Amino acid sequence: MLDGSTILLTGGTGSFGKSFIRAVMTQYDPKKLIVYSRDEYKQYMLREKYKEYDKKLRFFIGDVRDKERMRRAFDGVDYVIHAAALKQVPSCEYNPFEAVKTNIHGAENIVDCAIDCGVKKVIALSTDKAVNPINLYGATKLASDKLFIAGNAYSGSRSTCFSIVRYGNVAGSRGSVIPYFKNLIDKGELCLPVTDYRMTRFWIKLDQAVSLVFRALEESKGGETYITRIPSFKITDLAKAMHSDASMREIGIREGEKLHEVMVTESDSINTYEFDDHFIIYPSSYEWWSEKRMKIGGKKVPEQWRYASDTNREWLDVDQIKQRLASLEYVD
């Protein structure tokens, strides 16, 4: 699929980008992979880290807000993976217009440039926070998702295909609860702060997110939202797994934070199909959409069904969490 192709990755110096680059270079033989991002220092560090792939890696300094720069970068590109976004909830709340420019206008620019330049497929990364959003970050990502789905109606004879991959907080990623707890424990803290004792989360690793993107690249027809089937865990069980002697104190849920992660709502269930290790939400009725685009072998989920970390069928207990922590790779 990706052999001999040109791939462009926006926001390519982030945690997902690093894992994606490694996976592409070890599993495929692309013509080149273009890393498009704003930070020259991070690009320098990435170039140093992946020197062995220097002949096939290209680095473009640019912002998704800059349509002309992106149009130049998109020239000759076959596939685009869109990972660039302003993602920190408090930062987006404090800088709302900046979040809109990057997450919404940036998405619009990618749709336009991909169609104008004849890109075959665009896979945009989404988040659980785009589902029933309660903060600005989630709202901008919901708008972004809608723009990419609608992009399929605008591609016309160019036949550019737009699809979405959605996942929640990555285990061990910067800013997530696991490295936060680990840092406290390393400092000798034996009373871990828990925002709410009822809180649950999904467990997903970066390599699973990358694999889901590969799946979307291989089989998407346009308009799908891909979601990995993964287990849930209780935050209190995570704290016990990280230090059996640690106590906990409830500090209250933070503004803009959800009690549980939700990937599929009851409203979306009418268009959701379950497969062995993932779900696909198909678009609602559009003129450009046809059931002929649907993947064979899926089972429609019940109406009013929801896929959320608190109602999940698969759960990790304390011992299983310990096993996963032992092999967990922490990512920046």
Cα separation values, 85 from 105, 200, 312, Å? 11, 25, 28
C-alpha distance from residue 317 to each of 92, 238, 289 (Å): 34, 9, 42
Distance CA(75)–CA(72), nearest Å, equals 6
- For the question of residue 55 being annotated catalytic, the response is no
Domains and CATH numbers, the chain: 6-168+205-229+263-307 (3.40.50.720)
Burial of 148 by CB count in 10 Å (0-12 exposed, 13-18 middle, 19+ buried)? buried
**32 and 14 Cβ atoms separated by less than 8 Å:** no
Provide the greatest CA pair distance for the chain. 63
**Along the chain (332 residues), what's the average pLDDT of each consecutive run of 10 residues?**
96 92 96 96 95 95 97 97 94 96 98 97 97 96 97 89 94 84 92 95 94 96 96 96 92 89 95 95 85 89 95 96 90 70
Tens digits of residue pLDDT in 2-58: 999 999 999 999 889 999 999 999 999 999 999 999 999 999 999 999 999 999 999
CA distances from 184 to 175, 193, 212 (A): 13, 10, 32
DSSP string, 131-174: SS--SHHHHHHHHHHHHHHHHHHH-GGG--EEEEEEE-PPTTBT
Q: Cβ distance 110 to 122 under 8 Å?
A: yes
Q: What is the pLDDT of residue 287?
A: 81
Give the contacts of 296 (CB within 8 A, at least 6 positions apart).
none
Q: DSSP H helical segments within the chain, as ranges?
A: 15-27, 40-49, 67-73, 89-94, 96-100, 106-116, 136-154, 177-186, 206-219, 235-242, 318-326
| Closest listed residue to residue 200, CA positions, set 321, 93, 92 | 321
According to DSSP, the residues that pair with 51 across neighbouring strands are none
pLDDT at 53: 95
Cα separation, 174 vs 85, in Å, equals 15
- Encode 56-68: b = buried (16+ Cβ within 10 Å), e = exposed: bbebbebbbbebe
Distance from the Cα of residue 221 to its chain's centroid: 19
Residue among 169, 166, 172, 153 at smallest CA distance from 82: 166
The residue behind tokens 């640690």 is 246
* pTM, rounded to two decimals: 0.94
Residue-wise pLDDT for 274-301, tens only, equals: 999 999 999 987 888 888 888 989 999 9
Q: CA–CA separation, 291 vs 22, rounded Å?
A: 35
SS3 6: strand
pLDDT confidence of residue 285: 72
* Length of the chain (residues): 332
List all residues 6 or more positions away from 55 whose beta carbon is below 8 Å from its beta carbon: none
Distance in Å from the first CA to the final CA of the chain: 29
Which entry of 18, 56, 121, 129 is annotated as an active-site residue?
129
CA count, 13 A, side-chain hemisphere, 187:
9
